[in-house]
A and B are shown apart, each in its own frame.
Chain A
């Protein structure tokens, strides 16, 4: 074989880290790392703008990311200090000081997700509540779509939003059994919520304070059994002389 041929044969494929690092470096790919969560291992994707996606850590996650965001997803080290912040955000179920990249959703959806991020751990809110909170009380269906499009479940806690009748409803991160597991992990007691839902109870009040709440509000959970009054609608509660709680704003 000629020496020229032998030299040409030295050409080898570049290791995958070359393209990955280059695209990550110019912002045309997102990096990811795997984190533990209450629903098992999850992939957390990030770029210069913030955390861009949270998804189940399975074999198809890179392909799903590319399909949805139109960019490649490559394994990478998170920016300095982000690993701790990501771990904390998953544990608390809220972004805190972690930047989140919500450029992939519409401005309305962004607003819905930002309000969702304020729902306290261990509590749930109905879709209708969220629609009111973003100033579009009639857009309940659009609120549902916004939550289904949440690119960062666990960190923006869409699992804390339930159906208006009190049932748990769907969950984008791998189905409603995971939503149940998450809520149980946070102490929201999904069985109790479903018992309320089955009996048509959507609000509870205290006959000592005259205030009514959503059932998981921290004030509602302090009400002793003998003082708890149950309501199916907010009109019923108001007619009985109760006023809505200022913390959970049930109506």
Chain B
């Protein structure tokens, strides 16, 4: 990660594809759990915004960036806008993938989406950022703009609730 930051500071265009390759799995997976089918578009747009932001940063600022947390600041912001727009004008749920390739969610993933959907939004976000996206508590605190103690409590309560849901299923 440190080497990637150095290269981004030196040669943004050369290193940016590596940044995408490095972060896309966790970013997409987290967005998928938080925003379902919109994850693909949101992940793409997150990287495009990230690139434009990096264009305007001086090299020292890029060298100091915690990339995995920083990318989530952008992603959560876009996710919030997306959720707000969708609430304003509800769109019909597409029956299949936009690209015509049907890609059904494995049963296990669908079950987890249902369980996560039962959590209050701050808990869901905190749990996904911690355990799917792999961010640290201080990073989650920074990204969500909430105190670290609150974030920890959200994760613990969220996990406890998920455990209860799992028990009820069996």
A residues at B contact (CB < 8 Å)? 3-4, 6-8, 10-15, 17-19, 21-23, 25-26, 28-29, 72
**Given known A-B contacts A12-B32, A28-B17, A21 and B44 have beta carbons under 8 A apart:** yes
User: B146 at the A/B interface (Cβ < 8 Å)?
Assistant: no
Q: Given the complex, which residues of A lie within 8 Å of B29, measured CB to CB? A: 10-12, 14
Interface pair B28/A3, CB less than 8 Å apart? no
Q: Given the complex, which residues of A lie within 8 Å of B51, measured CB to CB? A: 22, 25-26, 28
Interface pair A26/B44, CB less than 8 Å apart? no
Chain A interface helix/strand/loop/mixed: helix
Minimal Cβ-Cβ distance residue in B for A12: B29
- For B48, give its contact among A3, A8, A26 (CB under 8 Å): A26
- For A3, give its contact among B16, B43, B162 (CB under 8 Å): B162
Q: Given the complex, which residues of B lie within 8 Å of A14, measured CB to CB? A: 24-25, 27-29, 40, 43
Q: How far is the CA of A18 from the CA of B33 in the complex (A)?
A: 16
Q: Given the complex, which residues of A lie within 8 Å of B25, measured CB to CB? A: 11-14
Interface pair A23/B131, CB less than 8 Å apart? no
- For B28, give its contact among A8, A15, A26 (CB under 8 Å): A15
- For A22, give its contact among B44, B109, B112, B163 (CB under 8 Å): B44
**Given known A-B contacts A18-B24, A28-B16, A7 and B44 have beta carbons under 8 A apart:** no
Interface pair A10/B132, CB less than 8 Å apart? yes
Q: How far is the CA of A7 from the CA of B127 in the complex (A)?
A: 9
Beyond A11-B29, A19-B17, A19-B47, 17 additional pairs, beta carbon < 8 A: A3-B159, A3-B162, A3-B163, A3-B166, A10-B33, A11-B26, A12-B25, A12-B28, A14-B28, A15-B28, A18-B44, A19-B20, A19-B21, A19-B24, A22-B47, A23-B20, A25-B45
Q: Given the complex, which residues of A lie within 8 Å of B45, measured CB to CB? A: 25
Minimal Cβ-Cβ distance residue in B for A6: B112
Q: How far is the CA of A29 from the CA of B17 in the complex (A)?
A: 9
Q: Given the complex, which residues of B lie within 8 Å of A12, measured CB to CB? A: 25, 28-29, 32, 109
Contact mask for chain B residues 50-72; partner A; CB cutoff 8 A; 1 contact, 0 none: 01100000000000000000000
Q: Given the complex, which residues of A lie within 8 Å of B89, measured CB to CB? A: none
Contact mask for chain B residues 75-100; partner A; CB cutoff 8 A; 1 contact, 0 none: 00000000000000000000000010
Q: Given the complex, which residues of B lie within 8 Å of A29, measured CB to CB? A: 17
Q: Given the complex, which residues of B lie within 8 Å of A23, measured CB to CB? A: 16-17, 20
- For A10, give its contact among B21, B99, B112, B159 (CB under 8 Å): B112
Interface pair B132/A7, CB less than 8 Å apart? yes
Q: How far is the CA of A15 from the CA of B27 in the complex (A)?
A: 12
Interface pair B40/A17, CB less than 8 Å apart? yes
CB distance from B72 to the nearest CB of A (A): 14
Q: Given the complex, which residues of A lie within 8 Å of B134, measured CB to CB? A: 8, 11
Interface pair B48/A18, CB less than 8 Å apart? no
Minimal Cβ-Cβ distance residue in A for B30: A11
**Given known A-B contacts A10-B29, A14-B27, A19-B21, A26 and B16 have beta carbons under 8 A apart:** yes
Q: Given the complex, which residues of A lie within 8 Å of B127, measured CB to CB? A: 7
CB distance from A158 to the nearest CB of B (A): 30
Q: Given the complex, which residues of B lie within 8 Å of A6, measured CB to CB? A: 112
Q: Given the complex, which residues of A lie within 8 Å of B21, measured CB to CB? A: 19
Q: How far is the CA of A11 from the CA of B21 in the complex (A)?
A: 14
**Given known A-B contacts A10-B112, A11-B29, A26 and B52 have beta carbons under 8 A apart:** yes
Minimal Cβ-Cβ distance residue in B for A19: B20
CB distance from A7 to the nearest CB of B (A): 4
Minimal Cβ-Cβ distance residue in B for A15: B40
Q: How far is the CA of A13 from the CA of B162 in the complex (A)?
A: 24
User: B13 at the A/B interface (Cβ < 8 Å)?
Assistant: yes
Interface pair A22/B48, CB less than 8 Å apart? yes
Q: Given the complex, which residues of A lie within 8 Å of B166, measured CB to CB? A: 3
